[in-house]
Structure 1
Amino acid sequence: MERAMLGVSLMDRIRNEVIRQRTKVTDIAVKICKLKWQWAGHICRRTDNRWGRRVLEWRPRTGKRSVGRPPARWTDDLRRVAGSGWMRKAEDRVLWRSLGEAYVQQWMIIG
């Protein structure tokens, strides 16, 4: 769509990064990543007993995942950046925001 906005075809051999700089459109994957990080911090800072926090802390009774490469859980990539105590770290807004920048940067590098 961005190529159509600029009138650039694939035959022009212009990289996506250059096109994105011209259109100043943010990458949707980066935006989603940033919103996920912010929402996780918001849920962890809640003091009431709503279901969002309980779902994040919930562990199934069996505790076993499927054989082979198990599907990633929602919190796996949060844990990868912030560590196992990520829920406590989310309560400190300044620390959580700085970790969030690192989290978003990893997605920009992956592409």
Structure 2
Amino acid sequence: MDVLTRHLQEDVPWCMLFADDILLVDKTREGVESKLELWRSTLESKDFRLSRSKTEYMECNFSSNSPSEGIVTLGDQVINKSTRFRYLGSIYGAECWPLKEKHNTKLSVAEMRMLRWMSGFTLRDRIRNEHIREKVGVAPVEDKIRESRLRWFGHIKRRPFDDPVRRVEVLDLTYIKKGRGRPKKTWLENIRNDLSLLDLNENLTFNRTQWRKRIHVADPT
């Protein structure tokens, strides 16, 4: 996908890819339709198909004006209008990230910049982060990453002891020569911190329903 459409891609946030999902942004309805048609014709010329049923659009009105009238079409089909969507690319694979505090800080700062941008606010507006989160209905990225990490940890603990994913827990790596300085942060250190923060016992992982319930991070309403 990335190679086939490289000549179509624009800078973030006007074009973002995640696996086989595409996010296109434009200032006008006509601009969105033009981009959709260009991507459709390019992909279909390479024997790919842009799903009509899964394609949706969302209108963000940053002024006091009423929402514009009209529809968005893809070919001869009218595209459904949505009031919200979730872009997952920013935390793809986060279940296995051995994050340090500086990494969490960078992710949180980048997240708030995007949330302010999509809400039409800047730091000069002096709007608190909590108010912006309530407006867009998004929980902190650090909390969602912790949820993903603990969900994966629960999946691992429920696997049989002879499963490959469990055998790595007992690998002997003492023969590996370590470099100077402080050891790197490990994934298991993150897990221990998560368990302590949420007051969880790892034995609870065997109760899948309760484990999911305890680690779940709800989006603000």
**Band the TM-score falls in, shorter-chain normalisation:** 0.5 to 0.7
2:146 to 33, 36, 43: 33
1:89 to 180, 203, 212: 203
TM-score with structure 1 setting the length: 0.66
1:2-61 deviations in whole A, cap 9, x for unaligned?
Answer: 212221111111122211111102222221211110111111111263321112332313
1:2 aligns with 2:115: yes
* Partner amino acid, structure 1, of 2:167: R
| Aligned 8 A contact 2:154 2:205 in 1 | yes
1:58-94 deviations in whole A, cap 9, x for unaligned?
Answer: 23133775443211111012234547xx996255327
1:11 aligns with 2:124: yes
Q: Write out aligned runs for 1:89-108 (5 A).
A: 89=203, 91-93=205-207, 97=211, 101=215
| CA distance 1:72–1:49, change in 2 (3 Å) | same
Instruction: Give the number of aligned pairs.
Output: 101
| Aligned 8 A contact 1:82 1:89 in 2 | no
Larger Cα-atom Rg: 2
Aligned partner of residue 135 in structure 2, secondary structure: helix
* Partner amino acid, structure 2, of 1:89: N
5+ unaligned residues in a row in structure 1: which ranges?
A: 105-111
Higher helix share: 1
| CA distance 1:88–1:14, change in 2 (3 Å) | closer
Which is bigger in relative contact order (C-alpha 8 A, separation at least 6)? 1
* Partner amino acid, structure 2, of 1:9: T
